[in-house]
């Protein structure tokens, strides 16, 4: 061996040692199967380890693939993988060391397992995973690990196995855990991120986490955290294979037990977190500078995500609290961030399948252990929970939980669909929990879709909530539903379902010390920053879209409570318990609902606002104060003989105060109601403008008498209502019919304006058929005109010809003493004629005509139609320039009527308060006769043709009975006749082009006058009622006519297109017809 070679060999170990001291150990091979540990990475010597992007370690035995067990760094830029290996670990970190772990690529511990459908029910069966004990990153040991563990934005951890985890910290971590990539865990009792050891720094999850399996949890913080828990990515958790609900009960029956496994929830915090819990979102750019990092967190705002926690199943989407220990969340920050829990993202819980409850955010475990949320909860994002045939809670404080304040500028909602006695609670404070104040500038809503359930926007069973401030919306709804699977009746009409559930906006009835509820408006400037003034109908400085609202019952306790509506509205009943209570309405605010006070110690103050009392009963109070701009509306039920009566010790009514009256049933006789009975009354001038606050059907007047205030009510006369002649004649009959249908009566009682009243009243009246008869006249006149026209230019043709004419017409009548209408006509007329030797022609016609009339008050689908089949005979003769014609015909008609009553949606449920339809069918006969003459004078190619014609039309309609609308709407209409004789004179000017084949454009101007005949009156009656007569208009005004025609022909053919218009004072007609003829 040469000396040179020996020297090289001796230097090799030294060179290798020097290299390892300044570099790292890299795994670059993609075929490596042997695990690696930092403690022995460099030929038995500790070293930093990097798996490069080309490197991969794929062992087939249990244990750790890579181990950080020394004071070094371990970085994965490649792949750590096993398949079908239980008890495997991607990276094992041992406590007692200092270093860093960075995963920037793939950790995949999966199995070759395909799901099967064992019972052929259309979905897979069996377990989610067969293997177990698989961990992407696992920290163990008895000593802390000092350093940072990071799964960065390109790191992807995929785990398939039961009792497994994406990241599991089972020993203390002196440092922080940062997750920015993706974690997917499939298998029962799995975790996305789980720490049982303490974390001295923070736990940050900006990436995505998905867990599927029974009892699986997205993020479980079961060890104390010295910093904050920050989530700014997505967390998804479910135990279901199928995360969408089957609506068909037959499909629901196919769900097996393994289809309904319950997950463990989205995020669980059962330990102390000194820096609070933050569900973050990118900042809103509120500065004028060009900074791309408004929150100064070192991440470009455009690269930041929004926290999203989604849990399918009964486990809470976000749970803070433990059954085994006390839990405290410190404040996230100071100032506006001085809250233990801040939610800027979304928390969503869904039971999905029938009978599975849902909870969005739960504070406190189920054993009553202390859970302290320092500073309370701040929400600018959303919390929602939904369930079917089970309860749903948006935000729940269990016994032992304390969050002094809830500040909501986002949305909290709970929704349940089901017909059983389910409940939906947006904010629920249990007995033994602690929350003293709630401020809402967003939305808090609870909805039950079904008849038997109850909804609560806010319910406090602890009795500790003392202050509620609302500038947003607090609403509860119970909405009737019906579908093919609802077996309580044989239809799918939700309107006829009986609602037994109760919608409660605020329930603080357990409070005994007094609750203060204040609702006010906020002027937030230009919505949308579009420099367009936002609508502010009441001019109070608060946009209509920003007006606050409380909808649903408000139930108070036995303390001295104060309810102030200083802007916006409260729609719902208010129940004051014992105590010296105060109700204040001002600042254009309003309340509509029943008002009750258990001990009569209530002070009612209405300034610039409206109080609408819906309970027709005695209300006792100590004091009533009505300001000059106040409105107080009472309710009376004439049928029951009850009405609202305020019995107060003292009452003060300033001049200008307005009173109103709401009637819930028909008042048939003039009545005086005592609405205020005071021990001492000081009253100014009461505003008599009650017409805007009482049903238009009645006239009311209010006045003070002694210490009482009274309202006189009587039915409005036809003259006071400015009714037309026809409307007046039906008034008594319509009023009497209202007693036959409570829905129709209610619709009338809900209308307080002239237009609203007549919008309903005119729907009660039958069609008088004037537009229909006018359209029939127009069609008959078109037929007679067609028979009058020669198909040649004066030379004899024939001897025979056939012709076909299409007729279109539109007749528009304006409202007057009778209802206006639009009537369309479409007809086809076929004719055959033979010409005699002397130039006369004798012909036959057969016409099929369809008419459709819509009154001006007609609703969708409402119409009267007529189908007519008519035969006729005509004669025409030309002598020189003279032309003569006459003819007539008769036919049969079948009439069909569809009438509807549709009221407004006063109750705001999205459907008309009353909606009825009926139908009728009846027979009819028609006849017509006509005669005309004309003279055509030629001036070269130009010609003038004066014309004169008489038209007679006769119509008979049989009796008809309507069915389907009920006794309060269906009418019986007597038979009626109509006939009309009209004369028409006109002048035609035209020009002829060509001879053997010719074209003739023409213009016509004329005048038509009704000479004789009359439209029959309409005599009708409601069920059990007296007949009333709607007199026909029978106007005899003349009408100017204008027309045009383009005619063309040859020795064997003829074609013409004609149109025209006819206008009188109330009526305009438009016609168009196309005629074709063949001569042979």
987: domain CATH number? 2.40.128.130
The predicted pLDDT at position 17 comes to: 36
The predicted pLDDT at position 242 comes to: 85
The predicted pLDDT at position 487 comes to: 67
pLDDT in tens, 501-549: 999 999 999 999 999 999 999 877 666 666 677 787 777 778 878 899 9
The predicted pLDDT at position 565 comes to: 98
The answer to whether residue 484 is domain-embedded is no
Asked whether residue 420 carries a pLDDT value surpassing 90, the answer given is no
Strands 998-1015 and 976-991, how do they pair? antiparallel
Percent of the chain with pLDDT over 90: 77
Asked whether residue 14 carries a pLDDT value surpassing 60, the answer given is no
Q: At what angle do helices 742-749 and 754-761 cross, to 10 degrees?
A: 160
The predicted pLDDT at position 789 comes to: 82
Does residue 858 or residue 548 have the better pLDDT?
548
Do you find a cis peptide bond into 799, omega within 30 degrees of 0? yes
Task: Evaluate the CA torsion angle 25, 27, 33, 35 in order and state its sign.
Answer: positive
Q: Are 1060 and 1041 in contact (CB under 8 A)?
A: yes
Average pLDDT over residues 992-1008: 93
pLDDT in tens, 832-843: 999 877 668 899
Which tokens in the block code for residue 32?
């490596």
SS3 breakdown of the chain: % helix, strand, coil, rounded to 5?
10, 50, 40
The predicted pLDDT at position 990 comes to: 94
Q: Are 395 and 428 in contact (CB under 8 A)?
A: yes
Facing residues of 805 across strands?
Answer: 829, 1075
Asked whether residue 9 carries a pLDDT value surpassing 70, the answer given is no
Those residues with Cβ within 8 angstroms of residue 379's Cβ, 6 or more apart along the chain or in another chain? 342, 343, 406, 407, 408, 409, 410, 412, 442
Please report which confidence band the pLDDT of residue 114 belongs to, taking 50, 70 and 90 as the band edges. confident
Average pLDDT over residues 474-478: 97
Of 231, 521, 543, nearest to 381 (Cα)?
231
Average pLDDT over residues 122-126: 79
Which tokens in the block code for residue 95?
């406590």
Asked whether residue 1051 carries a pLDDT value surpassing 80, the answer given is no
> What is the Cβ-side half-sphere exposure of residue 322, based on CA atoms within 13 angstroms?
17
The answer to whether residue 301 is domain-embedded is no
The predicted pLDDT at position 1036 comes to: 81
The answer to whether residue 636 is domain-embedded is no
pLDDT in tens, 555-571: 999 999 999 999 999 99
Asked whether residue 690 carries a pLDDT value surpassing 90, the answer given is no
Domain housing 990: 762-901+924-1079
Q: Are 930 and 945 in contact (CB under 8 A)?
A: no
Question: CA-to-CA distance for 237 and 347, rounded, in angstroms?
Answer: 12
Asked whether residue 98 carries a pLDDT value surpassing 90, the answer given is yes
The predicted pLDDT at position 495 comes to: 67
The answer to whether residue 989 is domain-embedded is yes
Phi, psi of 130 (to 5 degrees): -95, -35
Q: What are the strands, taking DSSP E only, across 557-670?
A: 562-565, 569-571, 574-576, 581-585, 590-593, 595-597, 602-606, 610-613, 618-626, 631-637, 642-643, 645-653, 658-663
Number of CB atoms found within 10 A of residue 532's CB? 9
Asked whether residue 797 carries a pLDDT value surpassing 70, the answer given is no
The predicted pLDDT at position 489 comes to: 67
Chain-centroid distance, C-alpha 83: 49
Please report which confidence band the pLDDT of residue 79 belongs to, taking 50, 70 and 90 as the band edges. very high
Question: CA-to-CA distance for 737 and 172, rounded, in angstroms?
Answer: 82
Is 334 strand, coil or helix?
Answer: coil
The predicted pLDDT at position 1066 comes to: 86
Asked whether residue 1005 carries a pLDDT value surpassing 70, the answer given is yes
Asked whether residue 824 carries a pLDDT value surpassing 80, the answer given is yes
The answer to whether residue 893 is domain-embedded is yes
Please report which confidence band the pLDDT of residue 4 belongs to, taking 50, 70 and 90 as the band edges. very low
Asked whether residue 788 carries a pLDDT value surpassing 60, the answer given is yes
The predicted pLDDT at position 252 comes to: 80
Percent of the chain with pLDDT over 70: 92
The answer to whether residue 250 is domain-embedded is no
pLDDT in tens, 161-187: 999 999 999 999 999 999 999 999 999
The answer to whether residue 837 is domain-embedded is yes
Asked whether residue 820 carries a pLDDT value surpassing 90, the answer given is no
pLDDT in tens, 725-740: 889 999 999 999 999 9
Asked whether residue 39 carries a pLDDT value surpassing 60, the answer given is yes
pLDDT in tens, 644-689: 999 999 999 999 999 989 999 999 999 999 999 999 999 998 877 6
The predicted pLDDT at position 8 comes to: 35
Q: Are 327 and 270 in contact (CB under 8 A)?
A: yes
Share the mean pLDDT of the chain: 91
Q: Which residue has the tokens 């010609």?
A: 943
The predicted pLDDT at position 183 comes to: 98
Please report which confidence band the pLDDT of residue 288 belongs to, taking 50, 70 and 90 as the band edges. low
Please state the domain count of the chain.
1
The predicted pLDDT at position 12 comes to: 37
Measured at the CA of 668, the angle between CA 664 and CA 673, to 5 degrees, comes to 65
Asked whether residue 1006 carries a pLDDT value surpassing 80, the answer given is yes
Question: CA-to-CA distance for 163 and 188, rounded, in angstroms?
Answer: 6
The predicted pLDDT at position 7 comes to: 35
Question: CA-to-CA distance for 815 and 55, rounded, in angstroms?
Answer: 87
Those residues with Cβ within 8 angstroms of residue 910's Cβ, 6 or more apart along the chain or in another chain? none
Asked whether residue 424 carries a pLDDT value surpassing 70, the answer given is yes
Please report which confidence band the pLDDT of residue 1043 belongs to, taking 50, 70 and 90 as the band edges. very high
């Amino acid at each position: 061996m040469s000396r040179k070679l020996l020297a090289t060999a001796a230097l090799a170990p030294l060179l290798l040692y020097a290299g390892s001291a300044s570099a790292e150990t890299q795994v670059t091979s993609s075929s490596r199967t042997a695990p690696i540990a930092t403690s022995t990475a460099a030929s038995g010597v500790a070293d930093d380890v990097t798996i490069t992007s080309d490197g991969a370690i794929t062992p087939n035995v249990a244990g750790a693939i890579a181990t950080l067990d020394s004071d070094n760094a371990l970085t994965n830029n490649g792949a750590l993988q096993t398949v079908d290996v239980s008890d495997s670990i991607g990276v094992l970190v041992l406590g007692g060391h200092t270093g860093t772990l960075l995963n920037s690529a793939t950790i995949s511990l999966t199995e070759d397992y395909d799901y099967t459908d064992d019972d052929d029910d259309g979905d897979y069966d069996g377990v989610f995973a067969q293997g177990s004990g698989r961990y992407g990153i696992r920290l163990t040991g008895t000593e802390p690990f000092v350093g940072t563990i990071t799964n960065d934005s390109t790191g992807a951890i995929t785990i398939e196995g039961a009792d497994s985890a994406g990241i599991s910290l089972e020993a203390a971590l002196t440092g922080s855990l940062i997750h920015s990539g993706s974690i997917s865990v499939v298998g029962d009792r799995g975790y996305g991120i789980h720490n049982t050891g303490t974390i001295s720094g923070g736990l940050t999850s900006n990436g995505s986490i998905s867990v599927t399996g029974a009892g699986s949890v997205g993020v479980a913080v079961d060890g104390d955290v010295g910093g904050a828990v920050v989530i700014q990515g997505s967390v998804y958790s479910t135990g279901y294979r199928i995360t969408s609900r089957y609506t068909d009960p037959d499909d629901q029956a196919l769900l097996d037990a393994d289809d309904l496994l319950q997950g463990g929830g989205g995020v669980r915090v059962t330990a102390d977190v000194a820096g609070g819990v933050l569900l973050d979102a990118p900042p809103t750019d509120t500065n004028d500078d060009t900074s791309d990092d408004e929150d100064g967190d070192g991440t470009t705002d455009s690269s930041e995500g929004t926290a999203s926690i989604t849990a399918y199943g009964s486990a809470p989407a976000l749970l803070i609290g433990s059954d085994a220990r006390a839990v405290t969340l410190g404040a996230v920050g100071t100032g506006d961030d001085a809250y233990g829990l801040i939610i800027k993202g979304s928390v969503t819980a869904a039971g999905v399948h029938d009978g599975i409850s849902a909870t969005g955010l739960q504070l406190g475990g189920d054993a009553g252990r202390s859970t302290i949320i320092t500073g309370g909860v701040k929400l600018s994002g959303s919390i929602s929970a939904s369930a079917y045939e089970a309860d749903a809670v948006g935000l729940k404080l269990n016994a032992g939980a304390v969050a002094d304040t809830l500040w909501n500028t986002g949305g909290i909602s709970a929704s349940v669909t089901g017909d059983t006695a389910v409940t939906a609670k947006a904010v629920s404070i249990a007995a033994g929990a602690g929350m003293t104040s709630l401020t809402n500038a967003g939305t808090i809503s609870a909805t039950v879709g079904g008849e038997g359930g109850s909804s609560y926007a806010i319910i406090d069973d602890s009795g500790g909530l003392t202050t509620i401030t609302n500038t947003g919306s607090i609403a509860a709804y119970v909405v009737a539903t019906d579908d093919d699977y609802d077996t309580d009746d044989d239809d799918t009409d939700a309107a006829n379902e009986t609602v037994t559930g109760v919608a409660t906006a605020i329930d603080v009835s357990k409070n005994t010390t007094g609750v203060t509820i204040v609702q006010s408006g906020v002027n937030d400037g230009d919505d949308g920053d579009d420099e367009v003034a936002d609508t502010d109908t009441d001019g109070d400085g608060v946009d209509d879209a920003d007006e606050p609202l409380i909808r649903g019952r408000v139930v108070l306790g036995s303390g001295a409570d104060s309810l102030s509506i200083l802007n916006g509205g409260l729609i719902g009943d208010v129940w004051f318990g014992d105590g010296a209570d105060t109700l204040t309405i001002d600042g254009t605010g309003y309340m509509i609902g029943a008002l009750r006070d258990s001990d009569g110690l209530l002070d009612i103050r209405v300034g610039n606002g409206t109080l609408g009392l819906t309970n027709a009963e005695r209300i006792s109070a100590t004091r009533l104060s009505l300001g000059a701009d106040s409105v107080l509306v009472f309710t009376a039920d004439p049928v029951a003989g009850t009405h609202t009566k305020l019995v107060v010790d003292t009452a003060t009514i300033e001049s200008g105060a307005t009173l109103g009256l709401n009637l819930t049933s028909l008042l048939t006789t003039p009545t005086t109601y005592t609405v205020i009975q005071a021990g001492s009354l000081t009253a100014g001038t009461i505003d008599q403008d009650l017409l805007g606050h009482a049903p238009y059907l009645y006239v009311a007047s209010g006045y003070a008498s002694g210490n009482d205030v009274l309202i006189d009510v009587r039915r409005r006369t036809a003259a006071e209502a400015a009714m037309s002649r026809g409307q007046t004649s039906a008034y008594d009959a319509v009023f009497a019919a209202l007693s036959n249908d409570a829905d129709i009566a209610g619709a009338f009682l809900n209308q307080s304006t002239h237009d609203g009243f007549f919008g309903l009243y005119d729907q009660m009246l039958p069609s008088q058929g004037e537009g229909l008869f006018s359209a029939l006249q127009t069609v008959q006149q078109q037929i007679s005109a067609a028979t009058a026209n020669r198909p040649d230019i004066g030379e004899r043709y024939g001897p025979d010809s056939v012709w076909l004419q299409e007729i279109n017409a539109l007749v528009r009548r304006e409202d007057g003493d009778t209802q206006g209408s639009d009537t369309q006509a479409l007809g086809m007329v076929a004719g055959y004629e033979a010409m005699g030797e002397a130039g006369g022609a004798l012909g036959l016609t057969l016409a099929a005509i369809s008419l459709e009339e819509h009154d001006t008050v007609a609703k969708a689908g409402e119409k009267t139609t007529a189908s007519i089949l008519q035969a006729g005979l005509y004669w025409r003769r030309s002598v020189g320039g003279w032309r003569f014609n006459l003819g007539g015909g008769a036919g049969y008609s079948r009439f069909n009527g569809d009438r509807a009553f549709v009221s407004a949606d006063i109750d705001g449920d999205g459907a008309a308060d009353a909606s009825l339809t009926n139908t009728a069918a009846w027979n009819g006969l028609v006849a017509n006769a006509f005669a005309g003459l004309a003279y055509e004078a030629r001036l070269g190619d130009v010609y003038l043709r004066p014309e004169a014609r008489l038209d007679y039309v006769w119509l008979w309609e049989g009796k008809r009975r309507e069915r389907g609308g009920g006794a309060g709407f269906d009418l019986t209409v007597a038979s009626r006749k109509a006939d009309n004789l009209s004369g028409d004179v006109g002048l035609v000017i035209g020009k002829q082009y060509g001879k053997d084949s010719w074209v003739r454009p023409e213009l016509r101007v004329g005048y038509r006058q009704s000479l004789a005949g009359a439209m029959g009156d309409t005599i009708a009656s409601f069920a059990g009622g007296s007949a009333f007569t709607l007199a026909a208009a029978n106007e005899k005004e003349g009408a100017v006519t204008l027309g045009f025609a383009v005619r063309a022909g040859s020795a064997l053919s003829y074609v013409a297109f004609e149109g025209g218009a006819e206008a009188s004072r109330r009526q305009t007609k438009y016609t168009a017809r196309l005629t074709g003829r063949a001569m042979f």
